[in-house]
Each structure stands twice: as C-alpha cells, then as structure tokens.
C-alpha cells in the first residue's frame, strides 16, 4: 500500500497535478480518507523524503521540493540457481545498464 501512495504522488508530480512548494495532505487526512494505517502513510512519506521529493516541516506539513523527471524502470533478472558464475553475470549486467533501472533478482 505504501508503494501505491509513493507512485501516486510521483505520478501526480510528473503530470503537473502537484507542483513545487505545494502542500501535501497530512498523514492523518490520508489515513482517515483512505482507511489506511498511519504507519503505511508515514512509510510512504519517508520514502519520498529519502528521495528528496518532499520535505517535512515538523508539526506542520509536507511540501513538494523536487520535480520528478523520469521514474526508474523495473528490471527482473531471473536466475534458477545462484552460483559464482551467475553472480558475475548479474554484477556485469548491473554495471552495464547504469543507474536508470531498479533490478530485482
């Protein structure tokens, strides 16, 4: 659920529905409106803070600080059994594709 909140805010920023310095809804408001746990909303906001997309002002609110240009693409790297050889292939793959992707294996 927290990832859906993160994705929704990032998509709204990308689509210019939310702009820089715009105030985001409080954790309690999202909690009540969507029947989500407070911890779930807090985790989503913390992820956005770590990515420097939002900033919090203690006891006040959250503001958008950065415009997201392009989200990272997800890549699934499947391996049947992990071995030293396959780990080298995986590491080589990570080095070649760069930082624009999130790789799961």
Give residue 66's Cα distance to chain centre: 13
Average pLDDT score over residue span 41-65: 89
pLDDT at 78: 85
In three-state secondary structure terms, 46 is helix
Q: How confident is the model at residue 47 (pLDDT cuts 50, 70, 90)?
A: very high
> What are the beta bridge partners of residue 76?
104
pLDDT at 65: 87
Q: How confident is the model at residue 95 (pLDDT cuts 50, 70, 90)?
A: confident
Q: How confident is the model at residue 42 (pLDDT cuts 50, 70, 90)?
A: very high
Q: Is the pLDDT of residue 50 over 70?
A: yes
| Cα dihedral 45, 50, 53, 57 in deg (nearest 10) | 60
């Amino acid at each position: 659920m927290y990832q859906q909140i993160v994705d929704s805010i990032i998509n709204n920023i990308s689509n210019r529905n939310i702009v820089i310095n715009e105030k985001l809804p409080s954790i309690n408001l999202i909690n009540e409106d969507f029947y989500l746990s407070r911890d779930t909303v807090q985790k989503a906001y913390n992820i956005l803070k770590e990515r420097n997309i939002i900033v919090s002002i203690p006891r006040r609110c959250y503001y958008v600080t950065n415009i997201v240009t392009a989200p990272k693409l997800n890549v699934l790297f499947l391996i049947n059994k992990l071995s030293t050889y396959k780990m080298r292939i995986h590491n080589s793959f990570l080095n070649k594709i760069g930082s624009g992707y999130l790789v799961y294996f």
